Amino acid sequence: MRHLIIIGGGIAGLAAAHRIQNSISQGNALKCTVLEASGRFGGKIHTERRDDFIIERGPDSFITQKPAALELCRQLGLADRIVGTRKNNKTFIYLNRRMLTLPDGLSLMVPTKFLPFITTRLFSWPGKIRMGFDLFLPRRRSKRDESLAGFVRRRFGQEAVDRLAQPLLSGIYSSDPEKMSMQATFPRFLETEKKYGSLILGMLAGKKAMLARKPQAKPGYQSFTMFVTLKNGMSELVETLIEQCPDIEFRAHAPITRLAKSGQEYTITLDSGENLTADAVLVATPANVTAKLTQETAPEIAEKLAEVPFVSTAGVVLGYNREGFPHPLKGFGFVVPATEKRKITACTWVSSKFPCRAPEDKVLLRAFVGGALNEPMAEQEPEQIVADVKSELRDIMGLNVEPEFAHVFQYKKGNVQYRVHHEDMVAAIEQDLTQHPGLFMAGSAFKGVGIPDCIAHGNQVADAALEYLTGLPTD
């Protein structure tokens, strides 16, 4: 019986394990072990349930425009557990000490409705005129990667970088837009520019095509909002997946001290001194961890992965009594441009964004600090982070009431950065891996940091591992 060991119990490794379970269920004689150094599975997906509050330490939702996460939920029988955002979907930009609504018709950063764009106070008149130049500017001919800031500045001007791209788009990756790879993070915009010349015209054409397309009814499928979660928190995905993989061995508290290859087999030495052998190994840990694990087996890959940068972030979850709460919370929350020089980067009004996150008489908020542009904020002592966040929310939202609780979740050097030419590095690693039969890699360091991206990559690499294992000669 062939043995595959998956190192890392985050969502990429778990998705790969589920793929292997499907293969075993179809009759393939395989053994699969998932090794996780910590005491829990799920990686950054981590839900805490306290006194009818559902608190997310990591991601609180996933995007539905990328199908891998939705499809996995359906395969696990979780379709009826999926919850969309509430209808009051306003998002605000905190600018010049005012809360300004993102104008209707804005597709990430591209205006598609004339009147809301013209009347918004988010941009100055010179800024609006400069953004309108997108309709006439020629498309870029070079195929070389460029930064997010460079791309947005070229199409829409500096004001769009400062007030949209930096707080909204680079905020997703906690990145510096001047260093962030456009090809690796938002290739859709590059494809739109290539096809239509203008992003505005391209987005309008896409909306028109979507409206004209007849909906195709599929059993068990329904329409969801752009962002969805699970009724009992994102960890419900992890818990259900593990429950439905009875043939997979999941081992927590299993840190690894050595990964070596002898002949056709890999040997994994655990911190306990135990040795495990496998015909193939799928490493699904963060790039900096993978680099250390593969120094002996694949030093050229380890060297590349060691150069992948990480930054620190932190989140603060605050719970309040609704009675006497001074803010109406009519929306999903706000983001703060770096040009405002504030200590927080964003705040999600969790109890207004999703149902069932807090009791009806309570309010739940989650504020964020740190990232590439203000990393020291996330590396402070937790007590100081809470004090800074409370001070910021008092000034920005007028919160002159004390929270019932405040929990800090820090991710020191925990957010991978996709720098310009990131895809070149990934391609080079994939080429190097062809020289190491039986060694596979997946995870957020490669083809996307979001839950759907990690699931899709875990599936893809699991399929490659299955193909390798089934092709091995029998004894």
173: helix, strand or coil: helix
* Residue 119 in tokens: 């009347």
User: Would you say the pTM of this structure is higher than 0.85?
Assistant: yes
Please report which helix (H) or strand (E) contains residue 275, including its range. Answer: strand 275-278
- What is the pLDDT at residue 214? 52
Residue 139 is classified by DSSP as P
The full DSSP string for 333-402 is EEE--GGG--S-SEEE-HHHHSTTSS-TTEEEEEEEEESTTSHHHHTS-HHHHHHHHHHHHHHHH---S-
The pLDDT tens digits along the chain (475 residues) read: 899 999 999 999 999 999 999 999 999 999 999 999 999 999 999 999 988 999 999 999 999 989 999 999 999 999 999 999 998 789 999 999 999 999 998 887 899 999 999 999 999 999 999 999 999 999 999 999 999 999 999 999 999 999 999 999 988 899 999 999 999 999 999 999 999 999 999 999 988 876 776 555 444 445 578 899 999 999 999 999 999 999 999 999 999 999 999 888 999 999 999 999 999 999 999 999 999 999 999 999 999 999 999 999 999 999 999 999 999 999 999 999 999 999 999 999 999 999 989 999 999 999 999 999 999 999 999 999 999 999 999 999 999 999 999 999 999 999 999 999 999 999 999 999 999 999 999 999 999 999 999 999 999 999 999 999 998 887 6
CA 289 to chain CA centroid, Å, is 18
Which residues touch 284 (CB under 8 Å, ≥6 apart)?
6, 7, 8, 10, 12, 13, 16, 441, 442, 443, 458, 461
Q: What are the residues facing 21 on neighbouring strands?
A: none
- Predicted local distance difference test score (pLDDT) of residue 475: 63
Which domains are seen in the chain, by residue range? 2-45+233-308+419-471 (3.50.50.60), 124-212 (1.10.3110.10), 310-416 (3.90.660.20)
In the DSSP assignment, the letter for residue 218 is -
